[in-house]
Amino acid sequence: MSGPLAVVHIVPLVSFTAPPEIAFGTNEAGISPPGASTGGRHIRYSLEGFISAGGSLNDKGEHAGYGLLFRNGIVEAVDHLGHYSKQTDFVYASQIEETLCYSVPSYLERLARENVDGPYYILVSLIRLTSHRLNYGQHETISEPRSRTPSPNVLLPERVINGAYDIQDARKLSDLIHNAFGLKQSHGFIEKDGVLRLRR
C-alpha cells in the first residue's frame, strides 16, 4: 500500500504472557478492513493468521485497507487516508475517527468471542504524512488553520483498555492525533443531552 496510512494495532497482554491459538474455520470471514462492510472483500490465510483486504483499488491494483487477525490474538488494521484514486494533500480526521469509533469495537468483540481477554493495548500510528495536512471539517467551532505535522510519521502513546472500550476512548485518541498536527483537540465529536457522539 502506498500513500498516507492509519495503522491500528490491538495487542492483548495475553498474546505475550499466555498466547492463545486462534483456529480459523472453513467459512472464516476474518475481521473487516477499517470502515469496510462485509461485501467486496478479498480474504485469505497467511503465515500470521487470516487477512481481509477491501476498499477501492487504485491504478496500481492496491487495496485501500486490510484487517489482519493474528493467531495469537493481535489485530492489525490499516487504512489508506484520503481519496485513494485522487491526488490530494489532505488526510481526513473523520475517516480516522470512524475507525476508532466503529472498527476498533468490532475487533474487540471478535477477540472476546475468541476468549482472548484484556487488558488490551491500542496503538495508533499515522505514517507517510509528508506534505499532508489534516482535514477536520467545516464546523462553526473551528478557527484553527489546517497545518502539517512536523514529522512524516506519528506514533501515538498506547491506550490501555482494562474494561469496556467506548467513545470517550476514541475521542482521547483522536485528540492526540489533532495534537500532532498542532491543534488543541478533535472537532469530530459533539455532546448532546449528555451523550457524546460523532459529529455528522
Q: How does pLDDT run across 4-41, given as a tens digit for each residue?
A: 899 999 999 999 999 888 888 766 778 888 875 545 67
Dihedral of the alpha carbons of 198, 65, 163, 119, in degrees to the nearest 10: -150
Domain tally, the chain: 1
pLDDT greater than 90 at residue 116:
yes
| pTM across the whole model | 0.86
Lowest mean pLDDT across 123-132, 146-155, 161-170, 179-188:
146-155
Residue type for position 25: G
For 176, the 3-state DSSP assignment is helix
Separation of CA 89 from chain center: 20
Note down the domain range covering 142. Answer: 5-198
For 114, the 3-state DSSP assignment is coil
Q: Cβ distance 49 to 69 under 8 Å?
A: yes
Q: For the segment 71-103, what is each residue's pLDDT rounded down to a tens digit?
A: 999 999 998 886 644 556 778 888 889 999 999
Q: What is the arithmetic mean of pLDDT over 36-52?
A: 75
What pLDDT sits at residue 38? Answer: 47
Residue type for position 78: V
Tell which wins on pLDDT, 120 or 140: 120
Q: Where are the alpha helices (DSSP H) in the chain?
A: 14-17, 93-98, 104-113, 167-180
What pLDDT sits at residue 30? Answer: 80
What pLDDT sits at residue 62? Answer: 62
Name the E strands within the chain: 5-12, 42-45, 49-54, 65-70, 75-80, 90-92, 120-127, 133-135, 154-155, 159-161, 189-192, 195-198
Name the average pLDDT for the chain.
82
Q: What is the arithmetic mean of pLDDT over 110-116?
A: 92
